[in-house]
Amino acid sequence: MTPAARIQAAIELLAAIQATGRPADRVAADWFKQRRFVGSKDRRAIAERIWAVLRARARLDWWLRRTVAAGGEGAGLARRRLLAWLLLGEGLPTAALERLFDGERYGPARLDPGERRLVEAVADADGEADATLDHPEQPPAVAAELPDWLHARLAAALADAPGTEAAAELAALREEAPVDLRANVLKASREEVREQLAREAIEAEPGRWSPWALRIDGRKPVAASAPFRNGAVEVQDEGSQLVALLSDARPGQRVCDFCAGAGGKTLALAAAMENRGQIVACDVRGGRIDRAAQRLRRAGVDTVRRQVLESERDPWVKKHKAGFDRVLVDAPCSGSGTFRRNPEAKWRLAEADLSELTALQARILESACRLVKPGGRLVYATCSLLPEENEAQVERFLAARPEFSLLPVEGVWAEQVEAGRLGGAPPAPGPFLRLLPARDGTDGFFLAILERAVAG
């Protein structure tokens, strides 16, 4: 593809993402699937620009409003956002833009009067970009790339986090996330996986805490590598790995992954259990559970049974009351800890959605806790940074369920270190695990471990 054709393709894909409530990565995957003629290098260049625009949406729109270039919908808005990114994010000079937006076949149409005002506002007399994406007059929410209501909540929540600065965490949330991998120790050790990746020019460094974690620099073709194809490695944030490790699932136990989704934590639990025992992976979305089957086969895991639930109150729960040593509830949440990976998600989230999510989380906890044996553990986790989804949810549950008590994460962490399953000290003091992007280099996660009393 020519550079101009790549720009036009990016405009079309960006418009497709704007037009749907589906996650951007799924829209992009479908879009490229329908255009198999797009080569791998072109695909990478288009995708990188798309995600850059999504991460900078609030600041780009601020510049468009400031230069009277705002307006338009669909492809028109997508085009102006991409143009603003080329100017402010990539610093393309006017002459280069004119060559790209030349109206020729496969390329974007020529600049309209509003777009020219944007170019003139940010370029100097020589046509070079004279402004940057950030500007001192941008409101705090715009600078943080967040809706106003969500910025206020996150700023308050992060201000209370020990050992961190709210400004640094908010800044980290708008940046691109690193790529973490999990070595599948059912097939190969972490060092063996690292060597296999190196043979395919993918350099990886050990993670900070998880004995399975590897981190690679930049985006590499991991999915095309031999260790991925043979199930020796999975893409999984180190924070997500810690959730599975701190669940303390052991060989021979019965474990329920109550909100299993596509099975990422299910696979990690199976590795922790050395593929011995039984895991039941539950979810209300049958399609996601079905997609987990291929991952389980590739990983060599044969101890998982998939269970589709009609709702969190499915009769299956009552039938298996007190039947599990460990129950992991990785609850549906705002996803505010993963905005680096899903930058468009923050704009799909409304304040009313948060109330609905917290009510759903409470119902899920109340139902899933019935599955826990006396002496067993209920592990509650989210990828949220908001206290109403985290600490407040646990406090409400404990007040209503006195047969459960909180096990401080520090103690469980120390047990895992002693057993050689974890390394180092917990990221921060306190009874819960709370992971933060800037402080810890992971996605944002929350975890609480609740133990059911043994009947007297």
Alpha-carbon distance of 254 to 276, in angstroms, equals 9
Q: What is the phi/psi pair of residue 230, to 5°? A: -95, 5
Alpha-carbon distance of 126 to 397, in angstroms, equals 63
Alpha-carbon distance of 52 to 92, in angstroms, equals 15
Helix (H) or strand (E) holding 445: strand 445-452
User: Of the listed 259, 282, 369, 383, which one is catalytic?
Assistant: 383
Give Cβ neighbours of residue 36 (< 8 Å, ≥ 6 apart).
none
Nearest to 346 by CA among 385, 296, 379: 385
Question: Is 267 exposed, middle or buried, given 0-12, 13-18 or 19+ CB atoms closer than 10 A?
Answer: buried
Under 8 Å between Cβ of 361 and 333: yes
Helix (H) or strand (E) holding 140: helix 140-143
Under 8 Å between Cβ of 295 and 262: yes
Neighbour count for residue 285 (Cβ, 10 Å)? 14
Beta-sheet pairing, 254-257 with 324-330: parallel
Alpha-carbon distance of 169 to 162, in angstroms, equals 12
Q: Is 383 a catalytic residue?
A: yes
Under 8 Å between Cβ of 243 and 333: no
Alpha-carbon distance of 243 to 221, in angstroms, equals 26
Alpha-carbon distance of 38 to 17, in angstroms, equals 18
Under 8 Å between Cβ of 117 and 68: yes
**Across the strands, what pairs with 379?**
328, 449
Instruction: Work out the end-to-end distance of the chain between its first and last CA atoms, rounded to an integer number of angstroms.
Output: 72
Give Cβ neighbours of residue 455 (< 8 Å, ≥ 6 apart).
374
- Going by the DSSP 8-state scheme, the letter that residue 390 receives in this structure is T
Instruction: Provide the annotated active-site residues.
Output: 383
